[in-house]
Structure 1
Amino acid sequence: MKVKIKRTTKIFLVVVMTVVTLVALYLNNSPQSFVSGEEDELSYALRAPRDQIFEPVLPDSPVILPRDFAFHNKFQHGWWHFFANVKDQKGNEYGVQWSYFRVASNDSGMSGWLSPQLFISHIVISSKDQVWREQRVARGGIGQAGMTVKPFKLWIDNWYWRSLGKTPFPGLLDVKTDNFAISLKTLTKGPFVIPGDRGYVPKHDLLPIASHNITSPFLEVRGELKLANNKVVSVSGQGWMSKEWGSGLLAESQKGWDWFVVHLDNDMTISVSRSRHEKQLSYSFGTLSSNDGKVERLDDSDITITPLDETVLRNGKRVPLQWSIKVPKHGIDVNTQALNNDIWLPFIIPYGEGPIKTTGTHQAFGFMQLTGY
C-alpha cells in the first residue's frame, strides 16, 4: 500500500506542476493569438512568450555535430521525433512513434524544483486495426527527466533512448508501460543530414519563424514489441529520427502544420511540411536526402501538398488523412493513405500522427503528422 500511495502522490504532483506550467505559458502570451479548445494548448506551448527573452534562431549559427545533439536550454523548445515502419515475421505491419519534447515556461535558467523546464514524451504503436499509446510528463531539475551527452541518453521516468557514444546511434529505445512495451535497436545506414541552410530551416516566407534541425533519414530498426496479453512480436524495418530546437515554433497567425516523411526507396527519403495560416497562403518546405550524402533543400515553389479527402474521427474532428504530394522536378507524384485512421493523440499537445503508405510514382511508406485541426 505504501508503494501505491507514493506513486499516486508522485503522479498527482506531476499533473499539478504540468497544469501550473501550461497556465504560466498561457498567461505569458497574448490571448488574441489563441483560438478555442485543443488549439489553445498547441498555441501557447509552441509560441514564444512575449515578455521572455529566449535565444533566437539565427541563420548565421550553423548546426555542428556531435555538439548539437545536446540540450539547448537557452531556447524555448527542443523536440525529438522517432518514426519506424516495421514488420513482424508474418508480414504484419506496425508503426512506432516516440516523441520527447522539452518546453521552458520562462527564461530564468534556474535549477532544481525552480527549473522552468517541462518534459513531455509519448509512445505510440499502430497496427492496421489497433493503437497502443501512452504519455509521460515530468518537471525538469529533479532527475525525473533529462539528458546526458557522454554517453548519449534521453530519459523520462523508466523510458529512455541511450547509446554508448556521443550521438544517438547505435541506439536503444526502451519503453515499458502497464499495457505494452518496446525494445528497439537502431543503427544508421546512411549519413546524418543537416536540412535547410546549415541546419537553419525557415517556416514562414514573410516572418522570422525558423528552427534548427538535425535528421537521421536512413535507420535500420530491429527489436521487440510487447503487445496485448504479453504477446511478444519480433520486428524489423526502417526508421527516421530528427531533433529540432528553437524559440516559438508557430507564427501568430499560424493554425498548424502538415508534415510527411516518406522513404521513397532504400536510397532516398523526403521530408515535406506545409504551414497553414489564417489569412495567408500556406507555406511549404522540405528536404530530399540521398544515402550517398546528397541533400537538396526544397522550397515552396518546388512542392505541392494538397488534402484529398476529410475523415471524421471518433472524437468528431474532421481531418484530411489522404494527401497528394508532388515534387515535379524530381518526378515525385504520390498519394498517401493512413495505415490506421485512429491517429489523433489526445495528449497535452494534441495532434494527429501515424504511419502512411503511398501510391503513384513511388510505392513507399513513412509517417504523417497533422496539427491545428
Structure 2
Amino acid sequence: MLSILFGVYFLSESSDNKPAVNELSLVQKPANKQVFEPVLPNHPVVLPNDFRFHPEYQHEWWHYFANVEDKKGNKYSVQWSYIRIASDERDMVGWQSPQLYISHIVVSNKHKVWKQQRIARGGIGQAGMIVRPFRLWLDNWSWRSLGNTPFPGQLDVQTDQFALQLRSKTSGPFALLGDKGYQKKHDLLPIASYNLSAPFLSVKGWLQLDKNRAVEVKGEAWMSKEWGTGLIAAGQVGWDWFVFDLNNDTTLTVSRYRHDQQMPYMFGTLMTKSGKAIALSGDEILMEPTLYRTVADGKQLPIEWAIAVPKHGIELNTKAINRSLWLPFVIPYWEGPIQTTGTHTANGFMQLTGY
C-alpha cells in the first residue's frame, strides 16, 4: 500500500499495529509551502552542539543497537530508534506543531522477537528533546543523561509486554561520517545527510521479557544520528545498511542505496578507537546478496550477503541470527543482528528497506 506521511511517500505494508495507523490519521495535512534547509557540503558537523535537534531540517533519526548477554550466557539484541519528521518549517506550539515523532523498540534472541512502536504529535509535551540535561522522550520511553551529550546515558522503555533499562557509556571517540559529517547518497543528484556516530559503547542494565523477572545484562553498543531534508529521492527504491564490530578497536559501516534503473550508490566508513574515520567510496566496496529467503508477508529479502573492502583486507559473509525481523511499522523494514565469517568473526546489524 502506498501511504503518505507528511507529504513524503513510503512503500509500506498494512500493519497489524492498528493504534499507530489511527494515530497517523490524526496528523494534519502538509502545508502547501514547505521550506527546509538544504544539506550542503562545507558545513561540518560540530560536537557537542549537533547533538541538539535541528528543526530547520525536515527529519532527524537516532539509531541505537546493543548486543548483550545475561549471566547464564543467553544473548539478546536491542534496537531502539527515535525519529522526528516535520511537515513544514513553521515553529508552532500545541496542536499546530508540524513535528511528528516515531519510536521503535525491538528486542530479539535467536528464537523470539519482542517489538513495539509508538507515535506522537509534537507541541503537546508527549515527545521531544532538551539538551541541558540531554533527554529524548516519547511517552514513558526515554534516553537521558546528566550532561549536554547522550553519554553516559540511560535508555528506559516500559511496555505492557516487556521492559528494559540500559546504561551506555563511550569506550572510544565519536566519529563523523563522510566528509566531516556530510554524507553524499547519490553520484549526480544533490542527495545527502549529516551524520555522526558513537561506534564504541559499553552497556549494562536489565531486560524484563514476557513479564518474567528482570535479568541483568551487559555488552557492547553503537549509536548514530542522522538529519537532513528529503527522506526519499525521486527514483529511490530503498537501501541496504550494515554495521560491524570488527574487533575491539575497529567498526565498519557500509550502505548501498538502490535507485530505479540506476546502479546502486555505495559508501562506508571505517572507525577506530584511535580517532580515525576513514571514508570509503563506492569503488572500494563490494556488496552482493548471496541468499534470498521468503520472510513475513511473502517478501523475498536478501538475508545473506558477501561484503568486502579489499583495500583494507576485509572479506565478510553475513548471516542473520533471527530471520523473523521484518518490522511492520509505519515505515516498514527488516532490521536485526547478524554475524559474519571470513577475515573477521564479527557481530553487527543489518537494515533492509524498500522490499
In which range does the TM-score fall when normalised by the shorter chain?
Answer: over 0.9
Structure 1 residues 308-327: aligned runs within 5 Å = 308-327=290-309
Q: What's 2:49 paired with?
A: 67
Whether the 8 Å CA contact 1:305–1:323 is kept in 2: the answer is yes
Output the CA distance in 2 between the equivalents of 1:56 and 1:229. 46
Structure 1 residues 184-203: aligned runs within 5 Å = 184-203=166-185
Q: 1:19 to 1:264 in 2, by over 3 A?
A: same
Output the CA distance in 1 between the equivalents of 2:93 and 2:164. 32
RMSD: 1.7
Give the partner amino acid of 2:328. Answer: P
1:315 counterpart SS class:
helix
Output the CA distance in 1 between the equivalents of 2:266 and 2:140. 37
Instruction: Give, in angstroms, the shift of residue 347 of structure 1.
Output: 0.5
Output the CA distance in 1 between the equivalents of 2:232 and 2:70. 38
Structure 1 residues 49-64: aligned runs within 5 Å = 51-64=33-46
Structure 1, unmatched stretches of 5+, are 1-10, 26-49
Output the CA distance in 1 between the equivalents of 2:30 and 2:340. 42
Q: 1:326 to 1:183 in 2, by over 3 A?
A: same
Whether the 8 Å CA contact 2:334–2:351 is kept in 1: the answer is yes
Instruction: Give, in angstroms, the shift of residue 17 of structure 1.
Output: 5.0
Instruction: Give, in angstroms, the shift of residue 249 of structure 1.
Output: 3.0
Is 1:107 aligned to 2:89, yes or no?
Answer: yes
Whether the 8 Å CA contact 2:197–2:224 is kept in 1: the answer is yes
Instruction: Give, in angstroms, the shift of residue 24 of structure 1.
Output: 4.0
Q: What's 2:99 paired with?
A: 117
Is 1:262 aligned to 2:268, yes or no?
Answer: no
Instruction: Give, in angstroms, the shift of residue 62 of structure 1.
Output: 1.0
1:329 counterpart SS class:
helix
Output the CA distance in 1 between the equivalents of 2:113 and 2:279. 34
What TM-score do the two structures reach when normalised by structure 1?
A: 0.88
Output the CA distance in 2 between the equivalents of 1:242 and 1:343. 20
Output the CA distance in 1 between the equivalents of 2:215 and 2:297. 30
Output the CA distance in 1 between the equivalents of 2:282 and 2:184. 11
Structure 2, unmatched stretches of 5+, are 1-16
Is 1:288 aligned to 2:270, yes or no?
Answer: yes
Output the CA distance in 2 between the equivalents of 1:122 and 1:266. 28
Give the partner amino acid of 1:301. Answer: D
Give the partner amino acid of 1:149. Answer: V
Query: Where is the strand percentage greater, Structure 1 or Structure 2?
Result: 2
Whether the 8 Å CA contact 2:316–2:342 is kept in 1: the answer is yes
Whether the 8 Å CA contact 1:172–1:186 is kept in 2: the answer is yes
Whether the 8 Å CA contact 1:259–1:369 is kept in 2: the answer is yes
Output the CA distance in 1 between the equivalents of 2:18 and 2:177. 40
1:68 counterpart SS class:
helix
Whether the 8 Å CA contact 1:85–1:239 is kept in 2: the answer is yes
Whether the 8 Å CA contact 1:210–1:249 is kept in 2: the answer is no
**Any idea what the Cα deviations from partners look like across 1:187-211, whole Å, max 9, x if unmatched?**
1000000111111000111111000
Is 1:97 aligned to 2:95, yes or no?
Answer: no
Of residues 211, 216, 219 in structure 2, which corresponds to 1:237? 219
Q: 1:96 to 1:17 in 2, by over 3 A?
A: closer
Q: 1:17 to 1:225 in 2, by over 3 A?
A: closer
Output the CA distance in 2 between the equivalents of 1:354 and 1:192. 23
Output the CA distance in 2 between the equivalents of 1:236 and 1:276. 36
Instruction: Give, in angstroms, the shift of residue 335 of structure 1.
Output: 0.7
Instruction: Give, in angstroms, the shift of residue 233 of structure 1.
Output: 1.9
Is 1:87 aligned to 2:69, yes or no?
Answer: yes
Structure 1 residues 191-230: aligned runs within 5 Å = 191-230=173-212
Structure 1 residues 316-355: aligned runs within 5 Å = 316-355=298-337
What TM-score do the two structures reach when normalised by structure 2?
A: 0.92
Give the partner amino acid of 2:229. Answer: S
Output the CA distance in 1 between the equivalents of 2:70 and 2:19. 39
Whether the 8 Å CA contact 2:21–2:330 is kept in 1: the answer is no
1:113 counterpart SS class:
helix
Whether the 8 Å CA contact 1:268–1:289 is kept in 2: the answer is yes
Q: 1:344 to 1:165 in 2, by over 3 A?
A: same
Q: What's 2:27 paired with?
A: 21
* The 10-residue stretch of structure 1 (167-176 or 249-258) with the greater mean CA deviation from structure 2: 249-258
User: Percent identity between the aligned chains?
Assistant: 58
Output the CA distance in 2 between the equivalents of 1:229 and 1:145. 26
Output the CA distance in 1 between the equivalents of 2:69 and 2:142. 23
Q: What's 1:307 paired with?
A: 289
Structure 1 residues 354-365: aligned runs within 5 Å = 354-365=336-347
Whether the 8 Å CA contact 2:173–2:198 is kept in 1: the answer is yes
Output the CA distance in 1 between the equivalents of 2:258 and 2:90. 32
Output the CA distance in 1 between the equivalents of 2:343 and 2:28. 44
Output the CA distance in 1 between the equivalents of 2:157 and 2:185. 32
Q: 1:361 to 1:372 in 2, by over 3 A?
A: same
**Any idea what the Cα deviations from partners look like across 1:265-318, whole Å, max 9, x if unmatched?**
000000100000111000100110001111100000110111111110132111
1:55 counterpart SS class:
coil
Q: 1:15 to 1:257 in 2, by over 3 A?
A: closer
Instruction: Give, in angstroms, the shift of residue 14 of structure 1.
Output: 7.7
Whether the 8 Å CA contact 2:110–2:321 is kept in 1: the answer is yes
